[in-house]
Structure 1
Amino acid sequence: MSSKATRRTLIAGAPAVAALALAACSEEPSGPVLAADAALPDEVPSGTKLVVGDPSNQLAYERSGLVKELGFEIEWANISGGPKTQEAFRAQSLDIGSVADIPPIHANWTNLPTKIVAASGRLEPLEHPIYDLGIAPGAGITSLEGLRGKKIAYSPGQAQGALVLRILDKAGLSQDDVELIELPSTADTYSNALAGGEVDAAPIGGTQVKSYVNKYGADGATTIPHGLRDDPWVLYAPVEVLEDASKAAAIAEYVRLWGAARLWTRANREEWINAWFVEHEGLSYEDGEYLFDREGEPDFPENWDETIARHQETIEVVAEGTGNPVLEAEDLYDRRFEPLVTEGIDAYGEAGAT
């Protein structure tokens, strides 16, 4: 980074941190209305409260000490994934959520205006994919072209569903060439469907990749790489929240420290594996090591042009596959927030709060 960022003025006291399944936001704006083209406020007014659905980064903020740098009251909601964040947005019980790049598209298709306020990916994304394509025992699929005529798990409106459509596009196949089986992409659903012969192929990630092959490899279960970037990860918020000047200022503070908190987890490997994967997720240390290494290094673009261009390509593929209108990816991003992650990394790097 070329220059050090000047820290924003924080005027609220120490945050109250609470782990919540669902926390209530005020239905009325807590601050003045902020126009979409107005500069973000430089200060967070005292008494501002933000409800955040970003579970793994909650722990990163806390362990790194960066949570103490947030000058507003923060309530943590144990909410992640597109369907849950959108449900909470509609209920006005969540201010900002952490998801892949498909939920913001789907939200705007379903009359829930949202904006992306932070974006990240992975360095060497093809070497560190989020998903592999799981292949059922006896399916006989050894390449993407081999998906023709097969049953594929599909979750509309989620990253896994979009990946399936992109895989078909890469393989020169249409939905008419395969049978899409709608299944929720919850934990183990896809791997169980593969093992039970309900589907022939499904995108699986995390420890599912390892456990699926370990359990069913002797029966012929395999995985194959899809060769596509599947690493986009974003923070997004409802437009109505960003129109609240006080909440927009608080979101700016949160975004500013987002990259630094995640870099801290990479610099503190053993502590993070024990804290997140073992203590929080209930995994073995060995599985935690596997997932930590599989994640690879995060990448936080200083400029969103390339990120938006890739998002546009994804929108066009998914729109064609779902019959929805093509959105302008640029319209999904609030570029007022674009420089903030870089500012935070300049200020804190991977060291956390000092």
Structure 2
Amino acid sequence: MSLIPRRAAAAVLAAALSLGVAACGGDEPGSTLELTAALPEQVPTGATIRIGDPTIQAVLGAAGLDKELDTAGVRVEWANISGGPQSIQAFRADKLDCSAVADIPSLFAAWTGTSTRIVFQSVTVDPLKFPVYQLGVAPGVNVTSLADLRGKRIAYSAGQAQGALVLRVLQKAGLTRKDVKLVELTSTNDSYVTSLGTKAVDVAPLSAQYVRVYKAKYPGATAVDTGIRDDASTLYCLTKSVQDAAKAAALRIYVSVRTKALLWQNDHPAEYAKLYYQDSQGLTAADAKVVVELTGAKGIPATWDNAIARLQQTADLLATEQKHDKLDVTTLVDRRFEPVETAAAGTRTVTGDAS
């Protein structure tokens, strides 16, 4: 009987241990998960996800859903971050794993060298009845239809949802950038309201609830509907966070809980108005109630197919109009989380999501 030399035996033992870790410990903190691999079922001890998702953060306790995160061993570090520019900056500084945004940030992250994946999609149940944006019109300016935009000065922010909306509005109106004057402005509702009120611009996209504020502040102010679907809502994450097996396991739980939280919002509009818009955002009770009524119920799509198709159309438009590289948006979407979301919604998914 031959004996294995001590050095060779040590190598064999190390290899065996390595294989054991790969087989049994793939979801340990820091271990890598291929983007094609199944999401881990168990959340390892110490799994933490850093998330900017203020609306969900506000309702978890009231909905009792924070207990589901705790039971599953998911630890969330909440970040006071929202919107594309803030989230992309935080991603680059490695201060954030995921953030709730519209669809445009995932495109601009890709175009500016930050790799992300969309892990959650939601829609407005009746998107054209409850638009996210309207076009605010400066006092004294005559715009009652999209055709009236010709020759107007329009507030524009290239890297945000409002900027994409302006381009889509022009496309629908049969106009080009040469038919209007796009005025580059920092895209915030406050800055747009001020620019409209002081007549620095003729038209600006405003969140639907801000239209009310704008009209109250400036006599003669008006607004028109775009007639364009603008309800894209996602949770997107750093690709390397999704590739971290422990974080991916925690995200699987979070996506499920987030789904239930959105449905809870629909079922408890008064409580949601108080928790988020009144207590967190500082609105009056009356204004908080109006905002919830204006924004409409949120739905979980039965499939992400239509949302992805709309994202591709937007990416193609922005690539043409803003001189970006062509982009295949399927590379930005992690569809492993799609069945997690639909399973959590059960029979309450929204079908026919193609308007």
Q: TM-score range by the shorter chain?
A: 0.7 to 0.9
Contact persistence 2:145–2:224 (CA under 8 A): yes
Tell me the CA shift for residue 185 of structure 1. 1.6
1:81 corresponds to which residue?
A: 83
Give the match's secondary structure for 1:40. coil
One-letter amino acid of the structure 1 residue matched with residue 170 of structure 2 = L
CA–CA separation in structure 1 for the residues paired with 2:300 and 2:335? 14
Normalising by structure 2, we get a TM-score of: 0.87
Deviations 1:16-50 (A, max 9, x none): xxxxxxxxxxxxx9321011111111111011111
Question: Percent same amino acid at aligned positions?
Answer: 45
Deviations 1:55-102 (A, max 9, x none): 111012222111111122111101000000000001111011100000
Contact persistence 2:134–2:208 (CA under 8 A): no
CA–CA separation in structure 2 for the residues paired with 1:348 and 1:313? 27
Deviations 1:306-332 (A, max 9, x none): 111111111111211111122112111
Contact persistence 2:300–2:348 (CA under 8 A): no
CA–CA separation in structure 2 for the residues paired with 1:324 and 1:36? 26
CA–CA separation in structure 2 for the residues paired with 1:104 and 1:115? 7
1:161 corresponds to which residue?
A: 163
Tell me the CA shift for residue 176 of structure 1. 1.3
Contact persistence 2:134–2:225 (CA under 8 A): yes
1:129 corresponds to which residue?
A: 131
One-letter amino acid of the structure 2 residue matched with residue 227 of structure 1 = G
Match 2:119 to one of 96, 117, 123: 117
Give the match's secondary structure for 1:338. helix
Unmatched segments (≥5 aa) in structure 2: 1-27, 350-355
CA–CA separation in structure 2 for the residues paired with 1:347 and 1:73? 29
Match 1:188 to one of 167, 187, 190: 190
Contact persistence 1:32–1:244 (CA under 8 A): yes
Q: Structure 1 residues 281 and 117, CA, compared in 2 at 3 Å: closer, same or farther?
A: same
CA–CA separation in structure 2 for the residues paired with 1:226 and 1:62? 36
Please say which structure displays the higher CA radius of gyration.
Answer: 2
Give the match's secondary structure for 1:188. helix
CA–CA separation in structure 2 for the residues paired with 1:323 and 1:145? 25
CA–CA separation in structure 2 for the residues paired with 1:275 and 1:244? 33
Contact persistence 1:260–1:348 (CA under 8 A): no
1:235-254 correspondence to structure 2 within 5 Å:
235-254=235-254
Q: Which deviates the most, 200-209 or 50-59?
A: 200-209
Q: Which runs of 4+ in 1 moved over 4 A?
A: none
Tell me the CA shift for residue 211 of structure 1. 1.3
One-letter amino acid of the structure 1 residue matched with residue 240 of structure 2 = E
Query: Is 1:30 aligned to residue 32 of structure 2?
Result: no
Give the match's secondary structure for 2:135. strand
Contact persistence 1:114–1:238 (CA under 8 A): yes
Contact persistence 2:29–2:46 (CA under 8 A): no
Give the match's secondary structure for 1:226. coil
Contact persistence 1:30–1:246 (CA under 8 A): yes
1:260 corresponds to which residue?
A: 260
CA–CA separation in structure 1 for the residues paired with 2:186 and 2:301? 31
Tell me the CA shift for residue 206 of structure 1. 4.1
CA–CA separation in structure 2 for the residues paired with 1:200 and 1:252? 45
Q: Which deviates the most, 36-45 or 258-267?
A: 258-267
Normalising by structure 1, we get a TM-score of: 0.87
CA–CA separation in structure 1 for the residues paired with 2:233 and 2:60? 17
CA–CA separation in structure 1 for the residues paired with 2:246 and 2:259? 22
Give the match's secondary structure for 1:339. helix
Q: Structure 1 residues 30 and 224, CA, compared in 2 at 3 Å: closer, same or farther?
A: same
Give the match's secondary structure for 1:300. strand
CA–CA separation in structure 1 for the residues paired with 2:36 and 2:208? 39
Q: Which deviates the most, 136-145 or 107-116?
A: 136-145
Deviations 1:182-204 (A, max 9, x none): 11122411011001011000000
CA–CA separation in structure 2 for the residues paired with 1:248 and 1:129? 33
CA–CA separation in structure 1 for the residues paired with 2:133 and 2:263? 22
Tell me the CA shift for residue 207 of structure 1. 3.0
1:9 corresponds to which residue?
A: none
RMSD, aligned α-carbons: 1.6
Match 1:201 to one of 203, 206, 211: 203
CA–CA separation in structure 2 for the residues paired with 1:284 and 1:102? 30
1:344 corresponds to which residue?
A: 344
Tell me the CA shift for residue 347 of structure 1. 9.9
Tell me the CA shift for residue 167 of structure 1. 0.5
CA–CA separation in structure 2 for the residues paired with 1:209 and 1:282? 17
1:319 corresponds to which residue?
A: 319
2:11 corresponds to which residue?
A: none
Contact persistence 1:169–1:317 (CA under 8 A): no
1:269-288 correspondence to structure 2 within 5 Å:
269-288=269-288
2:67 corresponds to which residue?
A: 68
CA–CA separation in structure 1 for the residues paired with 2:263 and 2:156? 33
CA–CA separation in structure 1 for the residues paired with 2:299 and 2:346? 14
1:7 corresponds to which residue?
A: none
Give the match's secondary structure for 1:211. helix
Tell me the CA shift for residue 348 of structure 1. 11
Deviations 1:263-316 (A, max 9, x none): 112212222222211111111111111110111111211211111111111111
| Larger helix fraction of residues | 2
Unmatched segments (≥5 aa) in structure 1: 1-28, 350-354
Deviations 1:194-225 (A, max 9, x none): 01011000000143110111222x3x311000
CA–CA separation in structure 1 for the residues paired with 2:309 and 2:287? 35
